[in-house]
Structure 1
Amino acid sequence: MSVLSELKTQSNIIYLLGRFNNKICFLCYIVGLFWFLALPHHEMSSSTYFSENALLPGLVDSEFYHDFGADSYYNELTDIMKERHMYQIPSNWLLKKFRKLGLDTYTQNYTFKYPFGVYSDKTLTGQNVYAIMRAPRTSGTEALVLSVPFGPELDGHDATYPGIALMLALAKSFRRNSYWAKDIIFLVTDNKEIGIQAWLSSYHHIPNKYIKAEVLPGRSGSIQAALNLELTSKYVGRVNVKFEGVNGRLPNLDLFNTVERLFHKEGLRIIIQKKVLEYSSSEWQRYLHSTKQMLIMMWNQASGIPTGNHGYFHKFNIDAVTIQGFKSKSRKQLDFTDVGRAFEGIFRSLNNLLERFHQSFFFYLLPSPDRYISIGVYMPPLGIMLLPIVIKISLSVCLCVCVCMCACII
């Protein structure tokens, strides 16, 4: 009797689904959509927090009290580029500055061949310059990376000279201290994303079909984390953090939280997706702002294209973000010293890591820099929105099975 009752129950369910499947599918989609759109509200999202206790962000006092010559580096680099009318990376000047700081300095040449037969008769050549500050406390089995893409003032794009100047100043500051437990690699790449791919492929001994790069003459240990600096002005009014990588991959949330916390300590709140929310905004405006940021993040992930050079580190299981500083009309402006202190704090926190990032989330959505939506929260509404597909497929399978059974009986 129990078997018959179960069969009868299943038949009733199939009958109801078959009769009202369109209405059920529509209702599931609407419920899932509204539930998903409610997630950016502050009542549905959660405040960010640190899962990795070893980071200790902002606990130590900063030793980057002045710009460590960042202004002079910037002025010298600007004058050199103007005098020589150069649009190529000033490798000799960079090598000279890094060697003066006592770092191991190297260059890497590469050639890029356009894929899919585009410009088959042309190739693009470039050069990367990097320096390694060896950790005095360890044998160099682990490393951190600070990269800056070289970009001249060309075709309306702002030059990245301030980022290179700040990198040299940070290298000068870091070199004076002996508490580093990880090597630090200072990398200046050419030709935007091509240069970083050439360097990473050679560093990990993985050949690239379209990039022929020289073998790196100097290496360090396993890279634990990386920061990509895009600074186009001496004075920074806004700091935008880019974190979407190749195929939508994200860095560990603890890395993003560290960046957010250290810049907030210096008196500047970071933004994401280049969207600024005024403090006087109403609750409805804050909700729309959060929703827009979340949807832009999802769009960037769906495209599969990284939003910066940091995204190519993700392919090698290296957590990385891009920190983009630019001018704005805000009253609060950071100079080289303020930004340098934030970067010093981030690297000192990363220096405390005992192992790779693993405790916090790798799957999340960010409606704002200080709130997140975890995978356990956004998957249920997504599942409900996809449930109509399952219902339609199940009904089609049941119909096919019934037709086959009837054909066999006849």
Structure 2
Amino acid sequence: MSLAVVVGQRIAKHHQILTSALFVAALIVVAIFPSFDRRTEVEEHGLIPGYATNGLDARWQARLRECIAQIEAETDIRTAIEASLQKAGLQPYHMNFSLPEGGQSSLLYTVAESRRGDSRESLVLMIASNWTMKKSTAKSSWGIGIGVTLARYFRTVHWLSRDVLVVFVDSNLAYGAGARAWLRAYIEGHSELRRGALRQAVILQVKNGATSLLMDVEGINGMVPNQDLVNTYSITARERPGLVVRHRDAWESVMHHARNGGVHTSHAAFLELQVPAFTIRGVSAKGDRSANLNVDSLAMSIESLVRCMSNALQQLHHSFNFYFFTGPNSHISNGLYLYPVFAMHCLLISFLGTTPPYRDIRSLLVGLGVVAAIAGVSGSTMFALAMNDELLAKSLSFSEKLACIRPEASLEAALQRRQIAGVWVLAGAGVSAIAALALRNYAFSVFSEDAQGPAVKSSGVRLPCPLWESVRVACGFALLAVLAPVTIYSWALAMPLTIVCVPALVLVRPVDMRRRPLRSTLILAFLAGNVFLLAVPPDLRATALGDAPRLVGDNMLHLYERSLVPAVPREAQKYLPRQLVQWLQQGQLAQAFRSDMLLLLYEAARDFKCVGGMLFPVICFAYWPLLVLLALIACILPAQRVQDEALSLSQLRLQALLVLALVMGGIVGGVVWRSYSSHGLEQLRW
């Protein structure tokens, strides 16, 4: 007998312990994944950032300041843009468009024609500013002035090989409506001006008085631009005095992706059309006394970026298209962070794929039918009501609709949105309850613990396993079918979904506090926690919980800083979840849990209806049906033939050793990947 067969037989006996340890180890690796970052680099050599000398000399800088002063002297921002373009000798083009929910808006654009190109390809410089705020010209003159001056400057240079379309849009429009309208007209051939295929785009959204620049790269559903484009600007901006450039931290970016944070950005519209684009966003924190951005340096940095984009002959394809930035000059790509989440899926395969219902086709098909029915009646009800908001408006006299506009900030409007989302949830829960009661009666007809011998033909379908077990196995099968593509499509959304759903489905059994106190308590607490977050308003939650969440967080932080960190050797402390702890201390996750979940559900539905944000369908057809099925198994279906399982002390020791070994293996693998993958550090560096 070969060694592989012997090892396989030994492992097969403990596969559940192994996959449980693998889940815990993968969870730890996910918590420390920013520790495996490496430096950013530009892999498309045609971009050559920082190679050429800037042409925006003192003469052009004076023209920029003159243009800014001219814009600030106007009262209407559209008039200011048009007058500035005309004074610069540029032809302004107007475009009026209809907003998705009625109303009209407009934008302006112009073109800087290349002296060397043939107008078959073009670049886009989009200036996004708030056109509706008070004193808009005085607060937006930097960005508009840079756009006008650069358009004028690009017409004079000899190095430009592609036409540059300079577009001025209103950033206050929801879902980047200005950028979407211009792109739609350009792609469909309705635009007054057309200059070939769009290769790359950069959006400048800066308000006067900004102190730093945020590289806003997150689009919709996990989309990000080719990293070469962002790295090129980072390199050129670092060379300019008075510019402070930063990215979102890795965990901040994960949460931004998961919550559809990029739906209102202008660059998201370009990313959906496979045009690499990102936003250079001027930011200034409250109380920040840092010096303002150097406007001349900002203009020169964008000039350098456009020159680099003009040099690249091919579509950007060398660098990463899925990644998270961990600093101004470091990143981590999907070559590492995908695999721990896939490793977590093995727990479902191990626990559910070896059970009797999985090996019996009748049990599996009946279970899949129940899962499909629950997902259909519960998730589809919520989804249909959300997408047909006119039905609720007519029947319940709701004036609020899922309009693609920025919602009103009034308490009355927020209360109505909460009520609408509550109706969705109640409708989904109501039909689920009816289906669950019907399934309880059905469970007695398909399986009986007292049945002996073969079933009579006229008695209908008889299963060798209880219905709750068949439903549990089929639910795991369906969950795997959902999690695998979602993990690839939007890792930031699939990661928390996997961490929450996989253990819950593995642990669930019919509730019995006498025989299974720990499992029953955990499942009931999980279900009750979801009900508490969804049904109880934020102010009542805060009153009920008091300072308990803060005290728990402080105690965990104290344990981490005073016990865990000192116990780890200094050389290994870089592989502690330092970035995760720092992000948790900032309170973004706590703030999300303190938010009104019904309002967040309403916003997710609006995002899907307007631009296809996938958070809402995942909630409707994955997470909500899972909650219903967990409640069905734990509390409603009859507890027929439940086999109680327990871990011995020796198994716990084995599991702890496996977790330690797998974590060490994960760290070694991450270090090797960082050192050698795609050249990496080009040497093994711990």
Same-fold status (TM-score > 0.5): yes
Correspondence 1:8-407 to 2 at 5 A:
15-17=13-15, 21=16, 23-41=17-35, 44-66=36-58, 67-81=61-75, 86=76, 89-90=77-78, 92-114=79-101, 123-152=102-131, 154=133, 159-190=139-170, 191-192=172-173, 193-205=176-188, 215-233=190-208, 236-267=210-241, 268-273=243-248, 293-306=249-262, 308-327=265-284, 329=288, 331=290, 333-396=292-355, 399-401=358-360
Distance 1:75 1:345 in 2: 24
Q: Hey, what's the Cα distance between the residues in 2 that align with 1:154 and 1:363?
A: 35
Unaligned runs of 5+ in 2: 364-452, 456-463, 465-686
Shift of 1:45: 1.1
1:58 Cα deviation from its structure 2 partner: 0.8
In 2, the alpha carbon distance for the partners of 1:320 and 1:134 equals 21
Distance in 1, Cα, partners of 2:88 & 2:143: 18
* Residue aligned with 1:33, SS: helix
Query: For 1:246, what is the secondary structure of its paired residue?
Result: coil
Amino acid at match of 1:358: H
Distance in structure 2 (CA, Å) of the matches to 1:26 and 1:68: 66
CA distance in 1, matches of 2:259, 2:284: 28
Is the contact made by 2:90 and 2:152 (CA closer than 8 Å) also made in structure 1?
A: no
Q: 1:374–1:150: structure 2 CA closer, same or farther, 3 Å change rule?
A: closer
Distance 1:223 1:201 in 2: 12
- Per-residue deviation at 1:101? 3.3
Secondary structure in 1 aligned to 2:331?
A: strand
User: Secondary structure at 2:262's aligned position in 1?
Assistant: coil
Q: One-letter code of the match for 2:322? A: F
Deviations along 1:29-69, one digit per CA (max 9) or x if unpaired, are 2211211222212xx21111110001110111111123242
d(CA) in 1 for partners of 2:343 and 2:312? 39
Q: Distance in 2 between matches of 1:198 and 1:95?
A: 19
Q: Does the 8 Å contact 1:247/1:301 carry over to 2?
A: yes
Q: Give the strand-richer structure, 1 or 2.
A: 1
Q: How far is the alpha carbon of 1:403 from its aligned partner?
A: 9.0
CA separation of 1:407/1:342 partners in 2, compared to 1, >3 Å: closer, same or farther? farther
Superposition deviation, residue 251 in structure 1: 0.3
Partner deviation per Cα, 1:375-400 (whole Å, 9 max, x = no partner): 11212222222321232332247753
- In 2, Cα distance between the equivalents of 1:407 and 1:372? 62
Deviates more, 1:293-302 or 1:325-334: 325-334
Quote the Cα distance in structure 2 between the aligned partners of 1:402 and 1:205: 51
- Structure 1 pair 33/180, CA: closer, same or farther in 2 (3 Å)? same
Mark the runs of 5 or more structure 1 residues left unpaired by the alignment. 115-122, 207-214, 274-292
Offset of 1:312 from its aligned partner?
Answer: 1.0
Structure having the higher Rg: 2
Contact 2:81 / 2:144 at 8 angstroms: preserved in 1? no
CA distance in 2, matches of 1:397, 1:269: 61
Judge conservation of contact 2:215–2:279 (CA < 8 Å) in 1: yes
Q: 1 CA distance for matches of 2:356 and 2:155? A: 68
Counterpart of 1:314, as a letter, is: L
- Higher deviation after alignment, 150-159 or 313-322: 150-159
The structure carrying a bigger helix percent of its residues is 2
- Do 1:150 and 1:161's aligned partners in 2 also have CA atoms closer than 8 Å? no
CA contact (8 A) 1:152 1:159 kept: no
Matched residue type, 2:296? T
Counterpart AA for 2:349:
V
Q: Which whole-Å CA distance do the structure 1 matches of 2:32 and 2:131 have between them?
A: 43
Q: Is the 8 A contact 1:246 1:304 kept in 2?
A: yes
Distance 2:346 2:290 in 1: 50
The 1:327–1:300 alpha-carbon spacing in structure 2 relative to 1, beyond 3 Å, is: closer
When the two chains are superposed, the root-mean-square deviation of aligned CA atoms in Å is 3.1
Q: Is the 8 A contact 1:101 1:175 kept in 2?
A: no
Q: Measure, in 1, the Cα distance between the counterparts of 2:268 and 2:454.
A: 56
Q: TM-score, normalized by length of structure 1?
A: 0.78
8 Å CA contact retained: 2:49, 2:236: yes
Tell me how far apart the structure 2 counterparts of residues 364 and 186 of structure 1 sit (CA, whole Å).
29
Q: Percent identity?
A: 21
Q: Rate the CA distance shift 1:151–1:399 in 2: closer, same or farther, 3 A.
A: closer
Q: Secondary structure of the residue that 1:223 maps to in structure 2?
A: strand
Checking the alignment, whether the CA contact within 8 Å between 2:71 and 2:81 is kept in structure 1 is: no
* 1:126 partner amino acid: S
1:184 is displaced (CA, Å) by 0.3
Q: Which one has more relative contact order, counting CA pairs under 8 Å at least 6 apart? A: 1
**What displacement does 1:178 show?**
2.0
Alpha carbons of structure 1 residues 330 and 361: separation in structure 2 relative to 1, 3 Å: farther
Query: Residues 197, 335 of structure 1: CA spacing in aligned structure 2 closer, same or farther, 3 A cutoff?
Result: same
Amino acid at match of 1:317: Q
Query: Contact between 1:247 and 1:305, CA under 8 Å: does it hold in 2?
Result: no
Task: Tell me by how many angstroms 1:266 deviates.
Answer: 0.6
Code of the aligned partner of 1:364: Y
